[in-house]
């Protein structure tokens, strides 16, 4: 799996300039290269171990990224925190209210409900997506390595979530949808997939499983490619069947990659919004599918509770931060496992 590989490499090279390449004086064409000849501070003819200083060039290289970072990541993060301490409603001047928003949030059943709904979605979505992805990856790994097959399986991932939602809302329509026609023809009753509160969230979870399984499968497949083929060959000589090889070779070696994919998709899954927003259609999302992103969106843009919404977003950020932290730990674990 390449990611982990790159990460490995970075481990090796990271400690900076230890391997001292710095033959500093790279910079005699300054005239043709005016805005970036930044090795200003170099001492010409310095010995091989000498420190080159690319200060000027570096900052010029970094202007766009740092500008973007400060304006659209750094500043908004600070701003968002400040909003969460105010009664800002998008139209007034924010007034400081201390931790009021957080206190209110803790007692808001809607907030907890939306977190619960989101967790329910994540379990359904990630569980099914990972299982199916694993199955497909194993098939691509052991049965056929056709690029065309992989490309076709990837198609749903390339399609906007909005389109995915529309497609399935139509396919699963309670009256005219193809699936309900099929159910009726097979003698079952019809199901109001998106209407029924019992079905709505599982439906959305599985729809997104449809959209992302191909992608997940390809990531896992990439991980499987790292497994030395001779392991399978010798196992086959010992008379092991495919299922057995999957259990005793593929799964154990893939475990770290699997863990990584799990956590990354988990975090992505927590941020579901598009599908719900489209499915909400009619009279707004029914409470069964009001996920946390939708809750925040509603508070901010329907009720104008920008301060409150910011507080909710910050709490979500903390939850995801913890998950990311776990992810990074696993990343480290996986690295050592594969190396």
Query: Of residues 115-144, which lie at the interface with other proteins (CB under 8 A)?
Result: 132, 135-136, 139, 143-144
Among 18, 44, 45, 63, contact with other proteins (rule: CB under 8 A): 63
Q: How far is the CB of 98 from other proteins (least distance, A)?
A: 19
Question: Distance from CA of residue 21 to its chain's centroid?
Answer: 37
Among 166, 227, 231, 240, contact with other proteins (rule: CB under 8 A): 166
Under the binding rule (CB under 8 A), the answer on residue 64 touching other proteins is yes
Stretch touching other proteins by CB under 8 A, among 95-103, 114-122, 123-131, 149-157 = 149-157
The Cα–Cα gap between 214 and 154 comes to 5
Among 118, 125, 161, 208, contact with other proteins (rule: CB under 8 A): 161
Q: How far is the CB of 272 from other proteins (least distance, A)?
A: 11
Region 66-95 residues binding other proteins, contact defined as CB under 8 A: 66-69, 71-77, 79-80, 83, 89-92
Binding mask 253-292 toward other proteins (x if CB under 8 A, else -) reads: -------xx--x--x--xx-xx--xx--xxxx-xx-----
Under the binding rule (CB under 8 A), the answer on residue 47 touching other proteins is no
Under the binding rule (CB under 8 A), the answer on residue 181 touching other proteins is yes
Q: Which has the closest alpha carbon to 3: 251, 338, 271, 228?
A: 338
Among 44, 176, 186, 237, contact with other proteins (rule: CB under 8 A): 176
Stretch touching other proteins by CB under 8 A, among 65-73, 95-103, 115-123, 227-235 = 65-73
Number of residues that bind other proteins (CB under 8 A): 151
Under the binding rule (CB under 8 A), the answer on residue 34 touching other proteins is yes
Stretch touching other proteins by CB under 8 A, among 13-21, 95-103, 122-130, 248-256 = 13-21
- Please, how many CA atoms are within 13 Å of residue 305, restricted to the half-sphere of its CB? 16
Q: Which has the closest alpha carbon to 261: 319, 318, 207, 212?
A: 212
Q: State how far the alpha carbon of 116 is from the alpha carbons of 14, 110, 259, in Å.
A: 41, 10, 23
Question: Distance from CA of residue 308 to its chain's centroid?
Answer: 25
> If 0-12 CB within 10 Å is exposed, 13-18 middle and 19+ buried, where does residue 226 land?
middle
The Cα–Cα gap between 269 and 246 comes to 27
**Composition of the chain by helix, strand, coil, percent to 5:** 70, 0, 30
Q: How far is the CB of 202 from other proteins (least distance, A)?
A: 13
Region 210-249 residues binding other proteins, contact defined as CB under 8 A: 210, 214-215, 218-219, 221-222, 225, 241-242
DSSP for 61-111, please give it. HHHHHHHHHIIIIIHHHHHHHHHTTB---SSS---B-TTHHHHHHHT-HHH
Residue with tokens 């699997």: 258
């Amino acid at each position: 799996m390449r990611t982990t590989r790159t990460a490995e490499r970075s481990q090796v090279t990271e400690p900076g300039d230890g391997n001292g390449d710095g033959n500093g004086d790279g910079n005699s064409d300054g005239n043709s290269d005016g805005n970036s000849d930044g090795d200003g501070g170099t001492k010409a003819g310095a010995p091989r171990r000498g420190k080159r200083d690319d200060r000027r060039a570096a900052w010029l290289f970094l202007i766009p990224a740092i500008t973007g970072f400060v304006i659209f990541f750094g500043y908004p993060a600070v701003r968002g925190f400040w909003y969460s301490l105010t009664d800002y409603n998008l139209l007034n001047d924010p007034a400081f209210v201390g931790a009021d928003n957080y206190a209110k949030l803790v007692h808001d059943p809607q907030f907890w409900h939306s977190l619960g709904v989101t967790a329910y979605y994540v379990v359904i979505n990630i569980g099914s997506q990972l299982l199916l992805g694993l199955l497909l990856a194993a098939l691509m790994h052991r049965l056929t390595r056709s690029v065309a097959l992989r490309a076709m399986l990837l198609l749903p991932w390339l399609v906007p979530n909005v389109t995915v939602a529309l497609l399935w809302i139509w396919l699963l329509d309670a009256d005219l949808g193809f699936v309900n026609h099929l159910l009726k023809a097979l003698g079952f009753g019809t199901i109001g997939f998106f209407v029924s509160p019992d079905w709505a969230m599982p439906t959305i979870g599985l729809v997104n499983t449809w959209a992302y399984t191909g992608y997940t499968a390809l990531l896992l497949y990439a991980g499987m490619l790292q497994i030395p083929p001779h392991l399978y060959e010798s196992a086959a000589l010992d008379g092991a069947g495919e299922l057995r090889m999957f259990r005793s070779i593929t799964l154990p070696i893939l475990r770290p990659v699997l863990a990584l994919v799990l956590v990354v998709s988990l975090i992505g899954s927590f941020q579901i919004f598009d599908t719900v927003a489209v499915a909400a259609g009619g009279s707004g999302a029914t409470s069964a599918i009001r996920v946390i992103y939708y809750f925040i969106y509603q508070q901010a843009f329907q009720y104008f509770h920008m301060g409150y919404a910011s507080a909710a977003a910050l709490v979500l950020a903390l939850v995801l931060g913890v998950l990311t932290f776990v992810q990074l730990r696993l990343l480290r674990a996986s690295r050592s496992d594969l190396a």
